[in-house]
Amino acid sequence: MTAMRASAPPRPAPRRLQRGSFLLEALVGIAILSFGILGIVGLQAQSIRWVNDAQYRSEAIYLANAVISRMWADNPANLAVDYGTTAGAGYKSFREAVKTLPNADDPTYAPEIAVAPGPANNSSLVTVTVRWRLPGETKGGYDGVGGSRYETSAVIGSN
C-alpha cells in the first residue's frame, strides 16, 4: 500500500513586495480627481465670462435700439445736430446711458452715431456703434483696441 503523503499548504508570497501599493493607488486616484475638479472649475469660470458677455451684448443692443427709437420720435430735421455731433443733447444722453457698459467711459470706447442723407429726400441713414471691453480683458485685436462692438443702422424719416 502506498502511503499518502500530506502535502504542505502553499506558502504565501512575501508581503513586503506589496507594501505601499494601496497608498500609491490612492494617490493616483486623488490626482485624477483633482484634475477633474480643476477642469470643472475652469469650465465654470469660462461659463460665467460668457454669461457676462451675453449680458453686456444684450444691453448694448437695447441701448442702440433705444436711441434709434428716440430718433424716430424726434424731429427728423434736427437729427444731425442732436445726435450726429458730440455736442448734441441726444448724443450726450446716449453716451451717459452707454456708461453702464464696462470700460465704456474710456474715450477709446466712446459710442458713435453717424447721420447721413437717406434714400429719400426727407430721410436720414443713421448708424449707431456701441463699444465696450469686459473687465480683465486686455486691449489688442486686429485694431489695437480690442473689446466688443455692436453696430446697427436704420433709415429714419419718410421713405
Q: How far apart are CA 84 and CA 151, in angstroms?
A: 15
* Percentage with pLDDT > 70 across the chain: 85
Q: What is the pLDDT of residues 35-72, one digit of tens each?
A: 999 999 999 999 998 998 899 999 999 999 999 999 99
Q: How far apart are CA 113 and CA 95, in angstroms?
A: 10
Prediction pTM value = 0.73
Domain positions in the chain are 23-157
Q: How far apart are CA 21 and CA 117, in angstroms?
A: 81
Confidence band, pLDDT 50/70/90 cuts, at residue 143: low
Q: Which residues of the chain form beta strands (DSSP E)?
A: 112-117, 123-132, 148-157
pLDDT of residue 84: 87
Q: Highest mean pLDDT range out of 17-21, 79-83, 146-150?
A: 79-83
